[in-house]
Structure 1
Amino acid sequence: MSNIHPMTSGQWHNRYLLMRHGHSQANQQGVIISSPEQGVAGYGLSCRGREQLDALLADWRWAIPERILHSDFLRTTETAARIAQYFGLRLEPETRLRERHFGAFEGEGDEHYAEVWARDALDPGHRHAGVESVVEVAARMMAAIEALEREHAGETLLLVSHGDPLQILLTALEGRELARHRDREPLAPASITSLNTP
């Protein structure tokens, strides 16, 4: 699955491929796994997620990545590892690409996402029930991109992250109100969004 995100010509030093991890055991079980305590060691890819990656690599239609940076959660690490193995690259963990932390909803049913997103639409700075705010997620995701822009040039970088952080990052890059991050079409598991950069 592909999404194209056009960017202003000449604005970037690198080309970016933003990837949501493949379908995970947390997706399969319908639970929120957003803390490093649970997400780094557990809840990796489901069988469906591994099949998604096999299909993606069999029909790869993007630039070949030269570096792969990923959230250190198991589901993103396993996604990145499969692609790194295919292209002969090494993995580079980047904690700023982690899942958005959902506070008191950790381990609860994923129906609670809708409650958080409704609050996001009213106030992107809210921290209801200990949830990481949209503003905080945008800041760390943008900081990861800005660091790569300072440290590299002319490279194709694959960033493997999670649905909410990527939606929020794309909203920030588009210059839209962060409260509207759910206005974007949700990113599917194992989808890649190309920042159409030079």
Structure 2
Amino acid sequence: MPILSLVAPQHWRNCYLLMRHGHSQANQRGVIVSSPARGVEDFGLSDLGEQQLAQLVADWQWPIPNRVVHSDFLRTAQTAARIAAAFELVPSVDTRLRERYFGKLEGQSDDHYPSVWALDAQDAEHQRHQVEAVSAVATRMQAVIADWEQQVSGETIVLVSHGDPLQILLTALAGKSLSQHREQTALLPASMTLIGR
């Protein structure tokens, strides 16, 4: 897999808008929803999330996208649908953009996140509680961009994903140790980060 670096984004063929989904019902309830079995069909956007997206589209300040690609979780699919509709695009699914799987912590309080992140800071390969390793998340997320870099050129592609995967991706692209992913500024719901050419 090609190594992509934010150090020389002018060498990229495309630009990417990394978007975290809008505020979701899982955020609202304070629960971890990371398994496809629960996240694909349930826990979509909250009313606040819908408002965030309406505001984002109304005040759009980013390059006009050519494509919108998203995780198959309901909250990302709904987010992508709103963005795609605004630009008369048809969104597409890439399961590699899914939420990081939190294993045995699935369905529990999101108060458990900090304890996992503390383990991440010690070892990006750990799988305690059957959590997906940071390194595995980085690999699948980078592969999405690597594939688009090979397939198209001169496009603006919105990638709609989740907080942890996007922070891990940004850490990897910056050439930092993956164990430092929580040192990135936290990505808020409905936030957008522009990378690339």
How well do the aligned residues superpose, as a CA RMSD in angstroms?
1.1
Number of the residue aligned with 2:96: 96
Number of the residue aligned with 1:117: 117
Number of the residue aligned with 1:51: 51
After superposition, residues 1-198 of structure 1 pair within 5 angstroms as: 7-195=7-195, 197-198=196-197
- How many aligned positions are there? 193
- TM-score w.r.t. structure 1 length? 0.95
Partner SS, residue 28 of structure 1:
helix
CA distance in 2, matches of 1:99, 1:128: 17
After TM superposition, which residue ranges in structure 1, 4 or more long, deviate above 6 angstroms? none
Partner SS, residue 158 of structure 2:
strand
CA distance in 1, matches of 2:149, 2:51: 33
Partner SS, residue 75 of structure 1:
helix
Partner SS, residue 10 of structure 1:
helix
Amino acid at match of 2:33: I
Amino acid at match of 2:130: G
Residues 157 and 121 of structure 1, relative CA distance in 2, 3 Å threshold = same
- TM-score w.r.t. structure 2 length? 0.96
How far off its partner does 1:107 sit? Answer: 0.1
Q: Deviations over 1:41-94 (max 9, x none)?
A: 000000000000011011000001000000000000000001111110001100
Is contact 2:6-2:174 (8 Å) kept? no
